[in-house]
Structure 1
Amino acid sequence: MSATLDSRQMLAFATLARRGSFTMAAKDLFLTQSAVSHTIKTFEREMGVRLFDRVGKKVHLTQAGEQLLPPVERILREMQDARTALEELQNWGQGRLRVGASTTACHHILPTVLREFKQSFPSCVIKIESGDHPRQLELLRSNQVDIALTLESESNAADLVFRPLFEDELRFLVSPMHPWAAKRKAPREDIAAETLVLYNKSSYTFRLVDEYFREEGVSMQNVIELGSMEAIKELVKIGMGAGVLAPWIAREELAKGALVSIPLGKRKLKRRWGVSFLKGRKLPLAEETFAGLCEAVTQDFGRVSELGA
């Protein structure tokens, strides 16, 4: 075994372990597949053990690979933290900030936060990675983002820190002409027959809504699935069905009377938003500032649940 570990080999190993595919790992590393394959073979030879089993186009960690992955990921994180700390020491306000956020957060939260952030760190290079909740956790764990705006879930617990920002409530949003709007409630017996306009099925929010109605004994028979909260609002405004959204996402439409907010039922369906980052990391000043600005910008978001009701 080699006396020292090569950082490029460790990065290739960690990337391939996460991706499970030479093709995807090569894409992430901006290398050819043959270069990644050569690097992994060299790493395995130097380590003296086989780290991957090749099954068709997929690769899986061996027992030795599973044992090696956690310390390799820790070393790579510490190397990145050291590089970031040196950049901040040498250049006040410079360096980078890599943020993960859902498209909803990108639209309703990040513009104000980043405008304020740029006043304190005008030379900081900012990179935004958008994606749903599962994607944000993947980006954090693979060290592709430093901090992410996420929902709280059981999958946050093990290796991530979650700092709460605000709590919201998912409610029906309907057109003022919808029969439920006049009643200011959704009759339980009518929900199954209603067209529900929901965020995409791969999202954590869809899962929460699905579990909620299952527990209530209500079947979601007619569902329109969209990948944009803005598109959901537009369909609902023209009477295509009842959307399930948090009111802060439609605060302007609710204030103008273009949409009406109605509870899902007697039991509320609530979520917690926060900023997440890898456990064990000490956030540098730029990231602490970003987290603080997120808290300041969203402090009223949880208070608009009854808006338009």
Structure 2
Amino acid sequence: MANLIDSRQLLAFATLARHGSFTSAAKELFLTQSAVSHAIKSLETELGVRVFDRIGKKAHLTLAGERLLVHADRILREMQDARSGIEELQNWGQSRLRIGASTTACQYLLPSVLREFKQSFPECVIRVEPADSPEMGEALRANEIDLALMLRPPNREDIEFRPLFNDTLELYVAPSHPWVKRKDLTTEERSATTFILYNKGTYTYRMVTEYLRAAGVTMHNPIEMGSMEAAKELVKIGLGVGVFARWVAQKELREGSLVALPIGDEPLSREWGFGHLRGRQLGLAEETFLGLFESAAETLNLDPPKAAA
């Protein structure tokens, strides 16, 4: 087959497109800037078009470059998958597992599964990248992770989502909170409280705010926390009302330091699962991990995914 694009040129092109800087691209590729520049010039000569506009020290994709990048990302990803698949066949059990998960899931859901997985794949290289659901789609597309433990992503045709369990968000208060003895709370009372929520940039934060807004509840100056443990501590001392899933607060419910209340008249449910790039074939290690996680979800009393209608 004639006129194939050199893979090294393609890698230099994709790396430069991601950084927009010859210096940064050369550093990542362990090459000199002149070597990266030569690779791009050779690529442009072979294609007969410019793929970058050089403006000062920055490199900006041309229209032809944008079109090429769509193919380049897919080709490089498939080349990496091919190598990984061959290495896994050659050295069974010496594969890698790259998982993306929120810090909360890393703390409460993953440890027991990873311990059991490591017993089956002792030589597997495991890497867990803490990130929230909106960020994990980008990490999957950038080939930084293989699997993402995430909420079902909205309108992501390039991500295949495998449902694992459902959970329900509830209100949590200290045992001394006046709401504990109340059966019916007015919209005004809910609006007057201070809500303690996790990470404003997450799907969950958006779900909670939209749910409360639809119920006529207005949040005034909610407290945003980057740690679920810290959020629970604030609720315990009566600084506000938390919104958590039950699997996050099991310990506190058992010891009686937190009390769960309905968030509203209707439940607020989430659907969790693992996402991966559509069309990517999962390896033995990844399929084993997913099976172990499904079993662990049952022991944690997490609701199984609802069957499609």
Equivalent residue number for residue 189 of structure 2: 190
Equivalent residue number for residue 273 of structure 2: 274
> Is the counterpart of residue 132 in structure 1 residue 138 in structure 2?
no
Equivalent residue number for residue 84 of structure 2: 84
Equivalent residue number for residue 293 of structure 2: 294
C-alpha distance in 1, partners of 2:142/2:204? 23
C-alpha distance in 2, partners of 1:268/1:32? 57
Gaps of 5+ in 2: 305-309
C-alpha distance in 2, partners of 1:121/1:170? 35
Residue 42 to residue 171, structure 1, CA distance change in 2 (3 Å): farther
Contact 1:185 1:263 survives alignment (8 Å) = no
Equivalent residue number for residue 119 of structure 1: 119
C-alpha distance in 1, partners of 2:11/2:302? 41
Equivalent residue number for residue 246 of structure 1: 245
String of CA shifts for 1:224-246, please: whole Å, max 9, x gaps: 11111111111111111011111
String of CA shifts for 1:196-244, please: whole Å, max 9, x gaps: 1111211121111122222222211121111111111111111110111
- Displacement of 1:153: 2.2
Percent of pairs identical after alignment?
59
Q: Which of the two has higher C-alpha Rg?
A: 2
String of CA shifts for 1:148-172, please: whole Å, max 9, x gaps: 11110214x3101100010111111
RMSD (Å), alpha carbons? 2.6
Gaps of 5+ in 1: 305-309
Residue 35 to residue 224, structure 1, CA distance change in 2 (3 Å): farther
Equivalent residue number for residue 262 of structure 2: 263
Residue correspondence of structure 1 range 1-309 to structure 2 within 5 A: 3-18=3-18, 39-53=39-53, 60-155=60-155, 157-183=156-182, 186-299=185-298, 300-303=300-303
Equivalent residue number for residue 307 of structure 1: none
Contact 1:162 1:275 survives alignment (8 Å) = yes
Residue 19 to residue 176, structure 1, CA distance change in 2 (3 Å): farther
Contact 1:184 1:262 survives alignment (8 Å) = no
C-alpha distance in 2, partners of 1:68/1:172? 49
Residue 57 to residue 140, structure 1, CA distance change in 2 (3 Å): farther
- Displacement of 1:47: 2.9
Tell me the SS of whatever aligns to 1:107.
Answer: helix
Q: What TM-score do the two structures reach when normalised by structure 2?
A: 0.88
Contact 1:50 1:65 survives alignment (8 Å) = yes
- Displacement of 1:34: 6.9
- Displacement of 1:83: 1.0
C-alpha distance in 2, partners of 1:152/1:261? 25
- Displacement of 1:44: 3.3
